[in-house]
Structure 1
Amino acid sequence: MSAPITIQSFETLIVDLPTIRPHKLAMHTMHGQTLVILRIRCSDGIVGIGEATTIGGLAYAGESPESIKINIDTWFAPLLIGQDATNLNAAMQRVDRGIRGNTFARSGVETALLDAQGKRLGLPVAEVLGGRVRDGVEVAWTLASGDTGRDIDEAEQMLDRRRHRHFKLKIGAGDVARDIAHVAAIKKALGERASVRVDINQAWSEAVAISASRRLAEAGVELIEQPLSRFDRAGMARLNAHSPIPLMADEAIESVPDSFALAQLGVAPIFALKIAKTGGPRAVLRTAAIAEAAGIGLYGGTMLEGSVGTLASAHAFATLDKLEWHTELFGPLLLTEDILVEAPLYRDFQLMIPTTPGLGLELDEQRLARFARR
């Protein structure tokens, strides 16, 4: 009888990468992106790669790059070293019993274990998760310069290059009338060639959102993402009943149980799926199953991960029966540098999903060393 294959060691790196431009959200403006890259080494020589990434330090969520690294090194690693590397259910159940919350760190760990298992079996992660039903996922682009003319020019370039035909605008931090005029001008310029969505990042009150939703509908906007505080479930449900365009829940989904409660209350007809928010690629599929059972549409969200986290998300989203609202897996395109030997492939408005074992990627060790925080 052969010896069991066990988890031997963890290595976590904080990696700071530059972005092509500032990225403006309601709660924070990003001038770069910080990733936590994880490597899990197993006794059969296989190394699984994962990523845990958040936005703006602690501006978005309760985990920061620094806390993710410390908690993986201090708590996750001791729990899992010596455990069976081939049994993901047992490994993640052990994490569930020993660690509360920390879904971003948990996602990085689950991703690395899936990558290792795929390499071990000679299968892409999508196939480990049950099998892909699509070879690529369509990707929206966020126009976040805040300048109307510049955003229109950027959208036109994306359409010409066949890179994106769905555009999301980050509004909510400024004057409401000015924000809506900005969105309306962009939609008018793009016409029927592209869809336009808005993300409020929880910045509006219910009263503001009631009026604004009507004006955005008149402008041709197709959805409003998280207009109210993630804690205001009753307000979201009331707004959802009256809004002429659909709402999408994003920050309100902090866990798989959250998604069940939101579905019960009818807060939104669309859910944004994020592996970091639910605890990994397998975990995000549980939220997707809840949404599908409740007749809620699905959108593949991002925490602006780099290439590792983006491809992990894509493998999970490739297995979904329906992905009506597509994805926003553009994180790597926001970065001026990649840490992979071959960057993810974007073509014909889609991110193509690798067909090689595991996540289908190889780290560029020189670039990783160059950008890793000392």
Structure 2
Amino acid sequence: MTTVTKIDQIETLILDIPTIRGHVLSMATMRTQTAVLVTIRFSDGSTGVGEGTTIGGLSYGAESPESIQSAIDTYIAPALIGRDADDVNGAIQLIDKLVKANRIAKTAVEIALWDGLGKRLGVPVSQLFGGAVHDRLPVAWTLASGNSDTDIAEALEMIEIRRHNIFKLKIGKRSVRDDVAHVARIKAAVGDAASVRVDVNTAWSLQDARWGLKGLQDAGCELVEQPIPARDRAGMAELARDYEIAVMADEALNGPEDALEVATARAADVFAVKIGQSGGLKRASEVIAIGQAAGLGLYGGTMLETALSTAAALQLFATVDHLAWGTELFGPLLLTDEILTQPITYRDFCVEIPKGVGIGATLDPDKIAFYRRDTARITRAIAGE
């Protein structure tokens, strides 16, 4: 008789890792990135690891690191203990019934389940989504110091060392005129050697965006990400229709339901697909499918995760035949330290898909012990523990 592998234990802990510089968003400046790590132990002795990470605490979205950990410990983990470890789809469906929203918390657990399944089967997670068609992908770098001279020097260095030739600028804290001038200076400095894009993180009004997109377009910028609030789909549709510059939806995309509405309204030219914002690898694959069916461009987005969740995202994006706008899975490079025993490789303007089984990531226990915020929280199958 075949023995069914069960979910025995789910452990969560929070890591706080400093960033290499202040990362200026329209709503906050990040100097530390906080990640929730999930370790699932299975009855056959195998393990799976996952990560849930957001940007800027509650200033970006409805989930914080603390709420992610609480949602997993209080609601998700108890429902999964004792279940068939290989039934990942069943676990996803159960969690969706029991827990509304909380997509990043769901993502962290789901990554660990896929990682464990891949390890037990001896295959990379990409194989569980049909197989990788890429071994590396173009990767952008975000210029977010807020200072034009600093950003220009950083961009030119990245081009020189062949690490990045796609740059996204974080704007939205200053006037539209000042933002456009900042972008124009950087584009003029890098010229045809690099692609320049911007992310406004919903900071502009529709009126601001009309002026902003025209100025950005004239400056040679190629794409603007979520210039206006996510709820204003009619405004996004107007901007996508009226300007040649590509308009990308980001905060407007929280899973396949949003993706369908955005695509139907033609409220974007491009989808920024984030596994955490989508609700996991499975839901992100559905967002990708909707974007493909609608003829929209695709972009592998990031929540500035550590290398753990970045590896998981790369396993999924490696299976997508055409990512017209590449990826921005540079999260590990923004941190002052590496938490994997084998770092993700960035070279020749690309990020390489991690090798090995599962998500292809092994945590460095010494680094985890150093950066962990407090004691771990554990949900076990054995009563009383």
- Same fold by TM-score, threshold 0.5 exceeded? yes
Residue deviations 1:112-148, cap 9 Å, x none?
0010011001101111211001001111000001111
* Partner in structure 2 of residue 109 of structure 1: 109
1:138-287 mapped onto 2 (5 Å cutoff): 138-287=138-287
Matched, 1:315 2:331: no
* Partner in structure 1 of residue 80 of structure 2: 80
Residue deviations 1:48-105, cap 9 Å, x none?
0000000111111111000100110111111100000011111111111111111000
Q: CA deviation at 1:211?
A: 1.5
Residue deviations 1:203-249, cap 9 Å, x none?
11111111211111110000010001001111111121112211000
Secondary structure of 2:9 counterpart: strand
Look up the equivalent residue of 1:164 and give its one-letter code: H
**Is 2:199–2:226's contact at 8 Å kept on the other side of the alignment?**
yes
Give the distance between the partners of 1:243 and 1:32, measured in 2 at CA: 36
Give the distance between the partners of 2:287 and 2:48, measured in 1 at CA: 24
**Is 2:135–2:353's contact at 8 Å kept on the other side of the alignment?**
yes
TM-score (structure 1 length as normaliser): 0.99
**Is 1:141–1:328's contact at 8 Å kept on the other side of the alignment?**
yes
Secondary structure of 1:58 counterpart: helix
Give the distance between the partners of 1:203 and 1:10, measured in 2 at CA: 38
The alignment's C-alpha RMSD in Å is 0.8
Look up the equivalent residue of 1:166 and give its one-letter code: I
Q: CA deviation at 1:349?
A: 1.1
Q: CA deviation at 1:256?
A: 1.4
Give the distance between the partners of 1:212 and 1:244, measured in 2 at CA: 13
Give the distance between the partners of 2:128 and 2:261, measured in 1 at CA: 29
Secondary structure of 2:229 counterpart: coil
* Partner in structure 1 of residue 329 of structure 2: 329
Give the distance between the partners of 1:333 and 1:118, measured in 2 at CA: 26
Look up the equivalent residue of 1:313 and give its one-letter code: A
**Is 1:282–1:316's contact at 8 Å kept on the other side of the alignment?**
no
Residue deviations 1:311-337, cap 9 Å, x none?
111110000121010000000000011
Residue deviations 1:304-362, cap 9 Å, x none?
00001111111100001210100000000000111111111111111111221011111
Matched, 1:293 2:297: no
**Is 1:213–1:244's contact at 8 Å kept on the other side of the alignment?**
no
TM-score (structure 2 length as normaliser): 0.96
Secondary structure of 2:37 counterpart: strand
**Unaligned 5+ runs, structure 2:** 375-385
* Partner in structure 1 of residue 349 of structure 2: 349
Q: CA deviation at 1:3?
A: 2.2
**Is 1:134–1:318's contact at 8 Å kept on the other side of the alignment?**
yes
Give the distance between the partners of 2:77 and 2:282, measured in 1 at CA: 20
* Partner in structure 1 of residue 38 of structure 2: 38
Give the distance between the partners of 2:320 and 2:253, measured in 1 at CA: 18
Give the distance between the partners of 1:264 and 1:342, measured in 2 at CA: 42
Ranges of 4+ aligned residues in structure 1 off by more than 4 Å: none
Secondary structure of 2:272 counterpart: strand
> Identity of paired residues, percent?
51
Give the distance between the partners of 2:285 and 2:3, measured in 1 at CA: 32
Look up the equivalent residue of 2:368 and give its one-letter code: L
Give the distance between the partners of 1:266 and 1:2, measured in 2 at CA: 50
Give the distance between the partners of 2:54 and 2:221, measured in 1 at CA: 27
**Unaligned 5+ runs, structure 1:** none
* Partner in structure 2 of residue 17 of structure 1: 17
Look up the equivalent residue of 2:215 and give its one-letter code: R
Aligned length: 374
